[in-house]
Amino acid sequence: MATENKNLSEYDKTTIPSAKNFRFGIVVSEWNDTITEGLFKGAYTALLDNGVDPNNILRWDVPGSYELIFGCKKMQEKDVDAVIAIGSVIQGETKHFDFVCEGVSQGIKDLNILHDIPVIFCVLTDNNLQQAIDRSGGKHGNKGTEAAIAAIKMAVLNKL
């Protein structure tokens, strides 16, 4: 397991570029909201911790993870330097999980190829609820924090 023995919330602040003058969009799925709210809190806190003005963080909610693609596409048009897509898909008894995970990952990949504003993939694709809890503020830390750090780094890279 990739996150075993790794806390997703840990980063060396001295290695993170200043995010003071950047604007970030965060698109959050309402589905599995206990998980996505935890991820949002991790991302939001990390952005603030790295100098982002709260007024420079724009949040939109969408119904589910599949809708993140359209939400992120529209967010790219809103004068932001990077977008974070936050969602949670938990394995069920049908193939729906596979179709949603594949569609969302490919859709976000496409946004990164087609547009000049980076979109960070912060969609948990877990086998069960406990795995999602562990990665949204639980024993493995918070993937939202990791996504915010990636967003800062990609916003800086995009300005080069």
For the chain, the farthest-separated pair of C-alpha atoms sits apart, in whole angstroms, at 46
Please, is 49 exposed, middle or buried when counting C-beta atoms within 10 Å of its C-beta (0-12, 13-18, 19+)? Answer: middle
DSSP-assigned states of every residue in 126-160: ESSHHHHHHHEEETTEEHHHHHHHHHHHHHHHHT-
Asked if 140 is an active-site residue, the reply is no
Catalytic residue chosen out of the listed positions 96, 109, 139, 159: 96
Total length of the chain: 160
Measured over the CA atoms of residue 57, residue 14, residue 136 and residue 118, the dihedral's sign is positive
| Residues forming the active site | 96
